[in-house]
A and B are shown apart, each in its own frame.
Chain A
Amino acid sequence: MSHLAWTMMMMAVPLATGLLLAPLLLTVINRVKAFFSGRWGQPLLQPYLDLWKLLGKGATYSRTTTWIFRAGPIVGLAATLAVLAMMPLGGVPAPVRFRGDLLLFANLLGLIRFITVVAALDTGSSFEGMGASREVLFSALAEPALLVGLAAVALETRSISLSDMVASVTAERWLTQGPALGLVVVALGLVLVTENARIPVDDPTTHLELTMIHEVMVLDHGGPDLAFILYGAALKLWALGALLVGMAVPVRTGNPLLDLGAFLAGMLILAVVIGVVESSMARLRLLRIPKLLVGATALAVLAVVLVLR
């Protein structure tokens, strides 16, 4: 194989893996939850079939909505794709990488949230406004945890590009800086749970008025719009999961295939862990969630202190 073709493949593989396998993560979580409740669970390809079904449908728009409502899912999916393009898969570097891309990463997460919230407010429904206000509150608390946690890793690895940072988290680094990296992984785990509306912060399957956070904001979207939102949510879970697994699974053999295999095994374990948490825990009371997120920020700050010493 020529050098150029090899480079092209190295660039395409991380992106294609995420695009293809992200919905499968949802199936794994669903299967684990089904196992705990004694059911068999959905077919492996159910999320893909759901997306296909939704894409074939037409969309209905309320007369009170404007172009913002229609732009929401499209901008959201586009921003998620950009996040995915910057996300390395363990030792396999991302197609798009440059100095300081971790700030763009955090900003794009903010953009996804902003456009979802604005589209929800555009419907004029007080119910969606309530969900939007909760989402904004919790993500405002989760953002410091994410940024400070990334700052700790950036300080430790002396790089401000996600690909370099994740690639530098090796097994030797875990041996010398284990406690700090462990704290960052816990903080990022809590951010992942918050950003993706998972238990214990939010229940992705709830349809009870008082408890919905993320789910309530997308109630008015239908057809292809809903397909975009669901696919975007799956990709976001994949991207943040990839960041977490990249930090937590320090397998850097230098062989891309082995690294990718270890990474995919890590993602599978992450999905199983999410499923087990969702089966064994209840949602936290809304009032207690800020405490959890401030705690995550505190852990990230502690990690920075441990790295700086």
Chain B
Amino acid sequence: MSVGVEGVIALLVITDLLLLGSSRLRSCITVAALQGAVVSLLPVLLHGDEGWVRAWSLTVGSMLLKGGVFPWLLRRVLRESGVRREVEPFVGHTLSVMVGVAALAFAVWVDARLALPASAAGHAPLLVPAGLATLLVGLFLIVSRRTAVTQVLGYLVVENGIYAIGVALVGGVPLLVELGVLMDIFVAVFIMSIAAYHISREFDHIDVDQLDRLRG
């Protein structure tokens, strides 16, 4: 495994832990953007020599979206809503980091028992467990946080995890399909940020835990 891919794996897990441990929403958005940009490097690092046009267009496209457009959209929501911190998550930040470590251990354990195609192990044996851990961390972020913005971030982290696993397992998904997936995420984040914006306009907060009553 090359040092580049190993560095990407390390950064992937470190950004997971940072997202779990940080309470400032603005820095959470920055970290998630960094994670997206780092994951975007994978096609070039793994499949760069097979078809460089395809690999580079994927990398540039997803880097622009995940590292540029999404953070911009989310920062706008944050500015409109005036929320700065995730004050009272359902699971505390220190405990969340421990859950992240447990998720990593679980992912490594599961990976040892999965019957994966040989192409994955050849390229980067650790990429699949790291992607799996990222997926789990994203799901955990969605269920354990209160603000709408962190839940969108959790969704993005889940997507990063799936993307990492996908790049490791299958090199040959058509470019059009991958771009279509990117487009889907873009639309989803776009709609979610508009929804969060409207929630904050209507209720003066983006705390989804309080959205259990109808208001006329």
Residues of chain A touching chain B, judged by Cβ–Cβ distance below 8 Å, are: 175-176, 178-180, 182-183, 290-291, 294-295, 297-299, 301-302, 305-306, 308-309
Contacts and interface: CB of A to CB of B under 8 A. Distances in A.
Contact of A175 (B3, B98, B105): B3
A298 B126 contact: no
Closest 6 CB pairs of A and B: A179-B10, A309-B126, A179-B6, A298-B101, A291-B94, A294-B97
Interface in B2-25: 3, 6-7, 9-10, 13-14, 17, 21
Given A178-B7, A298-B98, 20 more contacts: A178-B6, A179-B3, A179-B6, A179-B9, A180-B6, A180-B10, A182-B10, A290-B94, A291-B93, A295-B17, A299-B17, A302-B10, A302-B13, A302-B14, A305-B104, A305-B108, A306-B6, A306-B126, A309-B1, A309-B125
Contacts of B9: 179, 306
Nearest to A297: B101
Contacts of A182: 10
Contacts of A297: 101
Given A294-B97, A295-B17, A298-B101, A179 B7 contact: yes
Interface of B: 1, 3, 6-7, 9-10, 13-14, 17, 21, 93-94, 97-98, 100-101, 104-105, 108, 125-126, 129
A295 B13 CA distance: 12
A8 B55 CA distance: 60
Nearest to A186: B14
A298 B17 contact: yes
Contacts of B93: 291
Contacts of B14: 299, 302
Contacts of A179: 3, 6-7, 9-10
A309 B21 CA distance: 25
B21 A291 contact: yes
Contacts of A291: 21, 93-94, 97
B104 A301 contact: yes
29 contacts: A175-B3, A176-B3, A178-B3, A178-B7, A179-B6, A179-B7, A179-B9, A180-B10, A182-B10, A183-B10, A291-B93, A294-B21, A295-B17, A297-B101, A298-B17, A298-B100, A298-B101, A301-B101, A301-B104, A302-B10, A302-B13, A302-B104, A305-B104, A305-B105, A305-B126, A305-B129, A306-B6, A306-B126, A308-B108
B206 to A, nearest CB: 24
Main secondary structure of the interface of A (DSSP, over half): helix
Contacts, number: 54
Contacts of B94: 290-291, 294
A301 B7 CA distance: 16
B67 to A, nearest CB: 21
B181 to A, nearest CB: 28
A299 B94 CA distance: 14
Nearest to B11: A179
B89 to A, nearest CB: 13
Nearest to B107: A305
Nearest to B20: A298
A295 B97 CA distance: 7
A185 to B, nearest CB: 13
A288 B1 CA distance: 36
Contacts of B125: 309
A217 to B, nearest CB: 25
Nearest to B98: A294
A304 to B, nearest CB: 10
Nearest to B7: A179
A305 B17 CA distance: 15
B39 to A, nearest CB: 16
A301 B105 contact: yes
B29 to A, nearest CB: 19
Residue among B6, B101, B126 with max Cβ neighbours from chain A (10 Å): B101
A175 B9 CA distance: 16
Contacts of B3: 175-176, 178-179
Nearest to A178: B3
Given A305-B126, A306-B126, A298 B10 contact: no
A181 to B, nearest CB: 11
Nearest to A141: B94
